Chain A
Amino acid sequence: MRRQIQTETRGHRGGQISTDLNAGPIEAPLLSVRDLRVSFSSEDGLVPVVRGISFDVEAGKCLGIVGESGSGKSVTSLALMGLLPPGSATSVEGVVSFDGRDLQGLSRQQLRKLCGREIAMVFQEPMTSLNPALTVGDQVAEVLITHEGETKRAARARALELLREVRIAAPERRLDDYPHHLSGGMRQRVMIAMALACRPKLLIADEPTTALDVTVQAQIIELLRVLQGEHGMSIILISHNLGVISDIADHIAVMYAGEIVEKGPSDRLFENPEHPYTVGLLGAIPSHGRSRLASIKGRVPDLAALPPGCTFAPRCPFAEQACVDANVSIANLGLHHFTACRRAPLDQLL
C-alpha cells in the first residue's frame, strides 16, 4: 500500500497541482504519514478532526507542527502513538510507516511495545503525567524494567544516569523525591528522562514548554536540542508558539482546521510564507516597530460544519470566488515547500 502511494506520487512530481508530498530526499524518512484522517463521533455525527494530512520526519531532524487550538495538532500525535480511545467512537485512517514498518499492520500489543521504546512522547502537563504516589527514581526505572527487562538495581542506576543526562542538579537526591517536590521545569525534565530511557528514535513533544516560564522554557528547548544532537534522535515538536518552533525545527507544518495548509523548511516558511494563514499568524505575533497587529478576523471554523472549499476562505483577505467554490489540495512549490492555497505564489497579489 505504501509503496503504491510512493510510485504514484513520484509520477506527479513537478506537476502544477499535485498531491505529491514526498519530495524529500531519496533516503526513506524515519516516519512517514500519508493521508491521516481522524474522526470522532458526536451528536452531530462523525466530526472530522484531522482531515487527510501527510508528512515525513527524517532521521535526526525536527519537525515542528504549529497551529491554534482545535487545529488537530495534538490529536495527530495521539493518533500516531495509538493513544486515541479504541472503539467505534473514533475512526483513524491512513498509512503510517515508521522505520520501514507499517504501524497499521501491528497488533495493539506490538504497537504498545514500539511506542515507549522507539517512539516516546512528552506531554504538556508534567504534573498530571507523573504518578504522584511514586518517587521519581521508581518512575524512570519502571520504564526500563518494563521495556528492557532490567533488574530493579540496574534500572535504578540507569535512572540516575538519565536524570543526570537531562541536567537535573544533584540527581542522587532527586531519585527519592516525589513529583510534588519538584518545580515545573524539573518535572518536565523527569518526563524527558523517562521518554529517553529506551533511546527512542523519535520523540514526540506535545507543547512541552507551554506551562513553563520563559527562562525554563528556554532551558527545556536547549535540552531537547542537545539531546537531539547527542543521540541523533528525530523530534516532532507540537506547539502553538511559532517562536519556540523556530528555535529548534528544521521543517515546519502549519495546521488549520485539521489540515496542513503549509509546510516547508523553517527558513523558507518564515521568509517566504505562501499561505495567507501563515502570513496572518506571523503578523499577529507582536514584534517591535509594528504599530498594529495583523489580526486574523473571525474564528476557527466549527469542525462539524466546515465552510465549503478552502476552510480558511471565510477569514482570508485574499479569497476569491474560486476559493469557496472548489476544494483545494496541498501543492508543491519546489524546494520542499508546499501550500494549500490556490492563489499561491502570493507574489502575484503584491
Chain B
Amino acid sequence: MTRDAPVLEVSNLVKQFDISGPFATSRQVVHAVDGVSLQVSRRETLAIVGESGCGKSTLGRLIMRLIEPTSGNIHLDGEELTGIRGRALVPYRRKLQMVFQDPFGSLNPRMTVQETLGDLLRIHGLASRGTMKQAVGDLLEMVGLPPAHATRYPHEFSGGQRQRIGIARALAVKPSVIVCDEAVSALDVSVQAQIVNLLQDIKDKLGLSYLFISHDLMVVRHMADRVAIMYLGRVVETGTTEEIFSRPRHPYTRALLDVVPIPGATTRNKRAVLKGDIPSPLNPPSGCHFHPRCAFAIDRCAAEKPSLERAGLTDVACHRWKEIPDWSDPTPPPLAEGSRLQRLQERYVAGAGASMQEER
C-alpha cells in the first residue's frame, strides 16, 4: 500500500429518509446526504463543516454504519463496508470509532468508567481479567485522567472530563479512524482548548486519522489538514485548510468565513451577512442548492446542478467560480511576533506547563 492510499474512502454516498407517514398521499423524501465523496489519508484530519441540516452528522453516522446508506460505497483500508452487516462488522468497528458531542448522553450512567472501558476491551478481546485494570488505567492516563478515577461513575465528572472518557472509549480498541461529531462544541472555551490539544497529541502519538465534524470554523482551521464544506447534503467545496481559508472559491464558503465571530479589537466592517435561512431539505432549491441566497446566481444556477471541479488547489461546485471577484480575508492577521499579548500568552503557556509538571 502506498503512503497516500486513503484509509477511509467514501464515494457517491446517498442517504434519503422517507418521511411520508402512513396516510400520506405523496411520497416525501429528505435528501440528507446527496452524493458525497471524500477520502481521509493516514494521519490526516478531514473536517466536515456546515450549518445545521447540511447532512454532516448523517454523513458521520453513515460512515459509522449506524444507519444504512441508500446507495454509495464506503471503503476502509481498501475494503468495502456497505455490504457487511451485523456481527461481521465487529472487526471494522475496531478500526472506526466515534466521539460524540454529548459525552453524558453517550456514557452509561450506571456503569463505572472501569466497567464501561473494561467491557469494551473484553468484547474485542483486547485484555484479559488479569490485565484489565492496568489496561483501563493506561487508557485514562493517555487522555489525561488519573487512573484512580476508574472507579467513578459518569456523573462524578465534569463535562471536559467526560469528553476525555468518551475519547478513551474510542481509543480503547486502537482504531485507525475516529469520527468526531461536534466533539468539542458543547464545551467551555478553556475546556475546549484542553480537549483540542488532547486530540492533537493523541493523533501525533498514535498516527490516527480524524473525520472531524464541526460547525466551528475556528476550531476547524486550527485542527484540520483538509476541509469539506457541506450545504444541504452536498459538498460544495473541498481542499486543504490553508487554501479554503485563504482563497475560498464558493460563495457559501465565503459567506461562512465572513461571519465567523473572531474576538479582536478591530471590528470587521466588510461583512456580507447572508440573507434568509437554510431551505428545507424536503424541498431543496433546483440546480445549485445555494442559488436563492447567492449574490452571484444566474439563470443557469437554478437550472443545472454544478458538480465539483478542480479550481486551483481546491475542488468547487459552482458554475461561476472563475467569474466571481476575488475575496479578501476578513480575519485579523495572527498576533504579531513579539507583541505584548503574544509574549504574555507565551509566558502563560510556559507557566502553565511548568506548574502542570509540578502537579504530576
Contact = CB atoms under 8 A, between A and B. Distances in A.
Interface stretch (A141-149, A265-273, A332-340): A265-273
A285 B258 CA distance: 18
A3 interface: no
Contact of B192 (A169, A221, A270, A284): A284
B182 to A, nearest CB: 13
B193 interface: yes
Nearest to A316: B351
Nearest to A248: B267
Interface in B255-278: 255-256, 258-267, 271, 273-278
A287 interface: yes
A173 interface: no
Interface stretch (A37-45, A53-61, A275-283): A275-283
B12 interface: no
Given A219-B274, A299-B160, A288 B245 contact: yes
B274 A295 contact: no
Interface in A259-316: 266-267, 270-273, 276, 279-290, 292-297, 299-300
Contacts of B108: none
A213 B293 CA distance: 15
A281 B260 contact: no
Interface in A199-258: 213-219, 221-222, 240-247
Given A68-B188, A214-B256, A215-B273, A247 B222 contact: no
A217 B265 contact: no
The residue in A169, A244, A296, A349 that gathers the most chain B C-beta atoms within 10 A of its C-beta is: A296
Interface of B: 51-52, 158, 160, 188-194, 196-197, 200, 215, 217-219, 221-223, 245, 255-256, 258-267, 271, 273-278, 331, 334-335, 340-341, 343-345, 347-352, 354-356
B46 to A, nearest CB: 17
Nearest to A243: B261
A217 B160 contact: no
Contacts of A213: 51-52, 215, 278
A241 B356 contact: no
Interface residues of A, number: 56
Given A276-B348, A295-B352, A317-B348, A284 B189 contact: yes
Contacts of A292: 197, 200, 349
A288 B245 CA distance: 10
A299 B191 contact: yes
Given A215-B256, A288-B222, A280 B265 contact: no
Contacts, number: 171
Given A183-B277, A218-B271, A293 B352 contact: no
A297 B260 contact: no
A88 B200 CA distance: 49
Nearest to A318: B351
Contacts of A68: 188-191
Nearest to B54: A213
Given A186-B277, A213-B52, A286 B196 contact: yes
B259 A272 contact: no
B260 A294 contact: no
Interface string A323-341: 0000000000000000000
A11 to B, nearest CB: 32
A346 interface: yes
Contacts of A246: 261-265, 267
A218 B190 contact: no
B221 A297 contact: no
Closest 3 CB pairs of A and B: A317-B351, A243-B261, A289-B334
B267 A317 contact: no
Given A286-B222, A287-B334, A317-B354, A279 B344 contact: yes
B334 A282 contact: no
A347 B343 CA distance: 10
Given A218-B274, A270-B265, 6 more contacts: A68-B189, A279-B345, A284-B190, A286-B223, A293-B196, A299-B160
B258 to A, nearest CB: 8
Contacts of A217: 259, 261
A195 B137 CA distance: 53
Contact of B273 (A218, A240, A299): A218
A72 interface: no
Contacts of A289: 334-335
A283 B345 contact: yes
Given A214-B259, A217-B259, A282-B345, A272 B340 contact: yes
A68 B217 CA distance: 20
A69 interface: yes
Nearest to A286: B222
Nearest to A347: B340
Nearest to A211: B52
Contacts of B197: 292-293, 295
Contacts of B349: 283, 292, 294, 317
B190 A280 contact: yes
Contacts of A29: none
Contacts of B217: 214
Nearest to B352: A317
A126 interface: no
The residue in B267, B271, B356 that gathers the most chain A C-beta atoms within 10 A of its C-beta is: B267
B49 to A, nearest CB: 10
Nearest to A215: B274
25 contacts: A69-B188, A186-B277, A213-B215, A214-B51, A214-B217, A217-B259, A221-B261, A222-B271, A242-B263, A243-B263, A246-B261, A246-B265, A270-B265, A282-B341, A285-B193, A287-B262, A293-B222, A294-B349, A295-B194, A295-B352, A297-B356, A317-B351, A347-B340, A349-B344, A350-B347
A285 B217 CA distance: 11
A185 interface: yes
